[in-house]
Amino acid sequence: MSNTQQLQGNVLTPRGWIEGSVNFSERISSIQGVIADPGKNQQQYILPGFVDLHVHGAGGKDTMEAGDAVQVIARMHARHGTTSMLATTMTAPISDLETALQAISTSCKDRSPGAARVLGVHLEGPYINPGKLGAQPDFATLATLEQVKHLHAIAPIKLITVAPEMEGHLELVKQLTAMGMQVQIGHTLGTYEEGVAALANGATGFTHLYNAMSRLDHRAPGMVGAALAHAKFSEIIPDLLHVHPGAIRAAMRAIPQLYCVTDSTAASGMPDGQYMLGRQVVHKCLGGVRLEDGTLAGSTLTMDQALRNLVSIGLDLADASKRVSTYAADYLGLHERGRLQINSYADVVVLDRKLNLTAVYVEGEKIDLANA
């Protein structure tokens, strides 16, 4: 992509707001302007594109379906401002994971027109505690290094969720970290002490903080306590259903680079009804997605709504932007995404004064928002 494009407005840069312009093709070539207070003018907001590290589905499609599912999912999320993402699996038999990863691998190699960049895989299962499945199907199993290497050879696993208290998993955390994967603690009944040990062995984050993990008590801090006391990074679902706003704000005070994910499902962007989440049937109603027994099962959240939700609970726009873009990119070591600076990819979102999306660019390609 060679034609230079320009956007003008309140531009959020790593050094703060400027009132000016961004010039770009596939990458940002220049940013010009003067230091600004966006509250004192009425220009549009220009922010880094959103980075979502926990995406199960959208548009009626689930990552475990294989076929063209991931392309459909990546296109739907791009229309809501997500410019890069990890395709996230469900706990399932290894044969199902192999099939899903083969399809994800194709999407990782080539970005489809109109779609978010698929950076790789978040393997959320099956290496979790069968006593803390949440909405995961009952196929939890103990991990082996050989099996993870086998799956990683099919599609690049950038992030993996494990329950560290399971037999052999603490040593595995160290081995996976040495392979360059980010290891998150999740779907766990582990104690505070087991969480601290996992972090000492190289684990770097927590999967959907508070949800599907042992809770904080003042005499038994649990895995939530380990996260709040020691984590630099953690993901959280800010749909205001999974976590109370007060608990979100508490986590933000404790975890410096708490970042947001959607944990979105096939029901995202779709009407109320019945959908699949891996091998599970889920129901979308009243703004959420649930199993038959009422258990929350992922979300219908999109990242533009996540941004608005953060602002609605009191965050300023610059802080909210980092939590839907920069911190997730930093977590994966992606210094050319999640920020607007010269030579970064031109992953850009434009919002009006009410924080509604008006334009999205993925690596300089303007996304058609007509079906958003």
Is 155 among the domain residues?
yes
Mean pLDDT of 32-60: 96
Q: In what order do the strands lie in the sheet with 280-285?
A: 273-277, 280-285, 288-290
Mean pLDDT over all residues of the chain?
96
Is 231 among the domain residues?
yes
Query: Which residues pair with residue 283 across a beta bridge?
Result: 274, 290
Mean pLDDT of 203-230: 98
Q: In the structure, what pLDDT confidence band is assigned to residue 280 with cuts at 50, 70 and 90?
A: confident
Mean pLDDT of 251-276: 94
Distance CA(37)–CA(317), nearest Å, equals: 12
Region at 92 (left for phi over 0; alpha for psi -120 to 50; beta for the rest): beta
Q: What is the CATH number of the domain that holds 108?
A: 3.20.20.140
Residue bearing the bigger pLDDT, 198 or 274 = 198
Place of tokens 């970290």: 177
Is 171 among the domain residues?
yes
Taking only the tens place, the pLDDT of each residue in 243-257 is 999 999 999 999 999
pLDDT of residue 296: 86
Is 4 among the domain residues?
no
Is 29 among the domain residues?
no
Question: pLDDT at residue 241 above 90?
Answer: yes
Q: Exposure pattern of 345-366 as b/e (b: 16+ CB <10 Å)?
A: bbbbbbbeeebebeebbbbbbe
Maximal C-alpha separation, the chain: 61
Distance CA(74)–CA(112), nearest Å, equals: 8
Tokens of 105: 């691998």
Check 96, 263, 330, 347 and give the catalytic one: 263
pLDDT of residue 372: 58
Residue 316 among the catalytic residues: no
CA dihedral 209, 252, 224, 138 (to 10 degrees): 0
pLDDT of residue 298: 84
Is 370 among the domain residues?
no
Distance CA(246)–CA(361), nearest Å, equals: 33
Question: pLDDT at residue 1 above 50?
Answer: no
pLDDT of residue 26: 97
pLDDT of residue 233: 98
pLDDT of residue 2: 57
Domain count, the chain: 1
User: Please, what is the Cα angle at 370 between 46 and 350, to 5 degrees?
Assistant: 0
Query: What is the reported pTM?
Result: 0.96
Q: Write out the residue range of the structural domain in which residue 108 sits.
A: 49-337
- Least confident among 5-19, 105-119, 261-275, 325-339: 261-275
Is 32 among the domain residues?
no
Mean pLDDT of 298-327: 97
